[in-house]
Structure 1
Amino acid sequence: SGSFKANPIAYYKNENEDHGHFRIMFEDKFEEIYRNELVNADFCVMNGITYFGAKYTSDRASKMCAMIFDIDGVTDSSLNNFFYAAFNKEFDYYPLPNYVALSGHGIHLYYVFEEPVPLFPNLKLQLKEFKYSLTEKMWNKNTSVDEKVQKQGINQPFRILGGKCKKNAPLDRVEVYRVNQHRVNIEYLNRFVPTKIEIDEKKLFKESKLTLDQAKEKYPEWYENKVLKGKRSYWTVKRDLYDWWIQQIKKEENGASYGHRYFCIMTLVIYGIKCGLSKDEIKQDAIDLIPFLNGLNKKEPFTEEDIKSALECYDERYNTFPLKDIEKLTNIRIERNKRNGRKQKDHVKMMNLIRDEINQNKTWNKIGNGRKPKKDIVQKWRLEHPEGKKADCIRDTGLTKPTVYKWWIV
């Protein structure tokens, strides 16, 4: 508390206990806690992510130090197939992990990053799809006797290295072997996923280098609202946006498709947040979409468990989730307002000139004579530009800054 530092978190439970425990792995006591508490527990799991707080929930995730994959149904032959293709540079078919852990009937593959990946809200979701795609590539008929691929999110924990295995497992303890001493990066893993799934490394390192005092001096308004008053600049829009997205999902052409169902529901959650809807209402609407989503691939049913996972995005911080990332994850094209090839600044200037010429003055936005009230102008603009900012609204509408700010949150 007070240091604003994220930590790894383990969860353990002993057979004689009614409930388990979350254990924060503080840096100066990591080895002591690991060796004395966790390894001796009857059941203990961790993952490769650091968290703020005392539990490893998705909304508290800070950085990903390692991406971990689980492949069940492994045999000597299938394991040989995997590593033959991973080590052979001529094939370059599977990414070579840093560590492989034998957990019983399956393996865990550890890919340790050169630099921890900061988990901004949009990146959490992209990394989830990224991991799904890699799992489908690495878990196949050549690497496992289990035909059903089990895809897990980035928040999934695994039995700790050296910890106890399941009672019926062929091993007593989880064994781990280092197979690659060179840490990986996103650019390397991008080679093993489709182009549309690749993650832009430029988006990964956006953390500010400013100290709090420097930020206070450079952004005084932000400092007052966010730090002193604890305010957030999130806003809500009319429900029309949410209802419109449901219709986009159900469209026969260019609607939801198999392989993107989960992210279509995830976007439904995000738009529900933007429209100020309750989690229960969004959940019910998502459940109502299950028959339609199942029709996209009856062999791979979409379940309430998938919806439960998507509802992890019910967090205000997803309010500003980028439109282009929604398109990438859902594979649904969202039309923008056309600017006829002009840059936004030039387009706005052109539209303002046309508007003033038509009205022969600059009082078109005044109340009276059938003209729209400024409040309606701002709200209409926000509905048409769900990702828009106040500055964009000021430029597009010609309204003054105080007017836009006044009606922005209504």
Structure 2
Amino acid sequence: MTQNYTEGYEYLSSQFPEVSGYDFYREMFPNNERSDEQHMDYSHPNAIYLYREQTSDGFNRMRRRIMFSDQWENDYMEFIEQNPLTLCSGLSYRGKSNKLEHAQRMNALIFDLDGVGLKELRNLFLRFGGDPTRLRRLPMPTYLVLSGTGLHVCYFFREPIDLYPNIKIQLKSLKYDLTFRMWEYKATSQNKEIQYQSINQSFRMVGSINEKHGNQIVAFRTGEPVTLEYLNAYARPENRVDVNKPFRPSKITRAAAREAYPEWYERVIVKGEKYPKKWDIAGKVHGDDPYALYHWWLRQILSIRGGHRYFFLMCMAIYAYKCDVPKAQLRKDMQIAFEDLQMVQHENALTEDDIKSALEAYDREYYNFTISDIEALTDVHIERNRRNGLTQEKHLYLARRRKEDMKAIGIPMKAADGRPTAQMKVYEWRKANPSGKKADCHKDTGLDPKTIRKWWETK
């Protein structure tokens, strides 16, 4: 049991009522179906949770289960209470899968704030509530949940939010905005790295056990259920959710779309394919490696810091799906990456269950995941290709022409990977400093004196 947990429990239990996991999820999901109901029109989505089960062969396996209202009391005692690993998000789903594409309503917006001790808790309560226009003010949460070393900050909605496709995107922006507002190193968290998470993120369930630290997950009622308008007030205007815009309205007629985008029209309107077109990554690779983008991502493991290791694995699965890497190869590569990521210092252990969870991102739901999302989740900066509005074909044509022109007039070429050669650095420095000395060139460029002497007379 950590010091953060002990301090947090003493602080919260002296001021707020502790609520059992059974009651916590009853309140979060008041409209779960009964087990004998069958609403085939998806009018009654249900919560879905995962729990660890030890099978007769001695192996631990994660199982999914629907949170039916009439079975919840027995299920909570059998599958959740004192279980070393149970997970649940704040969303309800149609069907039996808890993938984001099947999410139908958001019942609660939940934030994971790591590294919270007594000082950080006190600072949070100085910021909860009050004027949202003031710096670092935060909405008052419905519940605070002690997870082990930090908190789950939970906002229950008075009325669940319908998750139309465009609403999911807006809620992601809202969550990123409030995460940034909530997470401040040495004020509200002992950790430097902000952890951004998806709206579909699952969290250890109240009443279960955190096997990493040996403590029970406990919840304290700190406020009332909230409205979306209340949360919006604490976010930047461009990151607020507008429920009156569940879809992106088209600006052209169907007839015009048929003329302008015949391939799209055939695929979506004629054939009825509802998913976005998969990007042709392999077809755009220059070279013999069809998995070049995926292999590039594997090399980014050297940039991963504590708090982003799981999301690196998740993005491995996303890039693998983008590039059509076989799932068997992904599993093998992920196991190697898992071993390497163990070397990255962080207070929360990375487990085999994280690999299983990350593998779920090997799915068409994520194949058009944006660069901005990957940067936010992994804290890895990704350089963009800048074509100034030109197509790739025109951009490459102009680049080759420029290279030929430079060669024709005797300007040194760049290295194959795009970085200036030492020869070119010396040439450009002398061009800018015609009366400069070798010592000045060394001071300005950092090049070795021998290298400078070698290319000093470059024309």
- SS of the equivalent of 2:357 reads helix
8 Å CA contact 1:256, 1:332 repeated in 2:
no
Establish whether residue 156 from structure 1 lines up as the match of residue 194 from structure 2.
no
2:311 is equivalent to residue 267 of structure 1 = no
Q: Deviations over 1:103-157 (max 9, x none)?
A: 899975322468555567995996799399569828x887799999999864325
Q: How does 1:313-324 map to 2 (within 5 A)?
A: 313-324=361-372
Instruction: Work out whether residues 61 and 119 of structure 1, in 8 Å CA contact, stay in contact via their aligned partners in 2.
Output: no
Give 3-state SS (helix, strand or coil) of 2:183's partner: helix
User: Among residues 1, 18, 22, which one is paired with 2:65 in the alignment?
Assistant: 22
**Alpha-carbon shift at residue 321 of structure 1 (Å):** 2.5
Determine the C-alpha separation between the residues in 1 that align with 2:165 and 2:334. 26
Instruction: Pick from 114, 124, 142 the counterpart of residue 99 of structure 1.
Output: 142
What corresponds to 2:36 in structure 1?
Answer: none
1:112-131 alignment runs, 5 A limit: 112=156, 115-116=161-162, 118=164, 123=169, 130=176
Q: Distance in 1 between matches of 2:367 and 2:126?
A: 45
Count, aligned residues: 319
Letter aligned with residue 56 of structure 1 = N
Percent identity over the alignment is 22
Q: Secondary structure at the match of 1:289?
A: helix
Larger radius of gyration between Structure 1 and Structure 2: 2
1:124 to 1:81, Cα distance in 2 relative to 1, 3 A: same
**Which whole-Å CA distance do the structure 2 matches of 1:146 and 1:267 have between them?**
22
Tell me if the contact between 2:113 and 2:151 (Cα under 8 Å) persists in the aligned partners: yes
Equivalent pair of 1:270/1:314 in contact (CA under 8 Å): yes
Q: What is the deviation of 1:336?
A: 1.7
Judge which range, 309-318 or 150-159, deviates more.
150-159
Structure 2 partner of 1:389: none
Contact 1:23 1:54 in 2 (8 A): yes
- Return the letter of the residue paired with 2:106: M
Q: How many angstroms does 1:282 deviate by?
A: 1.0
Q: Of residues 278, 300, 304 in structure 2, which corresponds to 1:234?
A: 278
Query: Aligned to 2:46, what secondary structure does the other structure show?
Result: strand
Deviations 1:192-237 (A, max 9, x none): xxxxxx9686999563679xxx99x98565243236xx89843654
Question: What residue number does 1:285 align with?
Answer: 333
**SS across alignment from 2:41:** coil
Match of 2:41 in 1: 3
In the alignment, the residues of structure 2 paired with residue 60 and residue 272 of structure 1 have an alpha-carbon distance, to the nearest angstrom, of 22
Give me the whole-angstrom Cα distance separating, in 1, the residues matched to 2:192 and 2:174.
Answer: 21
Q: Residues 5-404 of structure 1 correspond to what in structure 2 (within 5 A)?
A: 5=43, 7-11=45-49, 22-23=65-66, 33=69, 37-39=71-73, 41-42=76-77, 43=80, 47-58=89-100, 60-69=102-111, 80-87=122-129, 89=131, 92-93=135-136, 95-100=138-143, 109-112=153-156, 115-116=161-162, 118=164, 123=169, 130=176, 133=179, 137=183, 154-156=200-202, 159=205, 176-179=221-224, 181-183=226-228, 187-188=232-233, 190=235, 207=247, 221-226=267-272, 233-234=277-278, 237-238=281-282, 240=289, 242-247=291-296, 249-250=298-299, 256-258=303-305, 260-290=308-338, 293=341, 297-299=344-346, 304-330=352-378, 331-336=380-385, 338=387, 341=388, 343-344=389-390
How far apart, CA to CA, are the structure 2 residues paired with 1:250 and 1:107?
Answer: 32
When residues 93 and 3 of structure 1 are mapped into structure 2, their CA distance, relative to the original with a 3 A threshold, is same
Aligned-residue offset at 1:274: 2.3
Q: CA RMSD in A?
A: 5.9
Provide closer, same or farther for how the CA distance between residues 169 and 131 of structure 1 changes in structure 2, counting only shifts above 3 A.
farther
- Aligned-residue offset at 1:245: 4.0
1:358-381: CA deviations, max 9, x gaps?
Answer: xxxxxxxxxxxxxxxxxxxxxxxx
The runs of 5 or more residues in structure 2 that have no matched partner are 1-38, 57-61, 82-86, 259-264, 283-287, 402-459
Provide the rounded CA distance (Å) in 2 between the counterparts of 1:11 and 1:290: 25
- State the Cα deviation string for residues 20-51 of structure 1 (Å, max 9, x = none): 883366xxxxxxx3xx5435642478542121
Unmatched tracts of structure 1, length 5 or more: 26-32, 192-197, 356-410
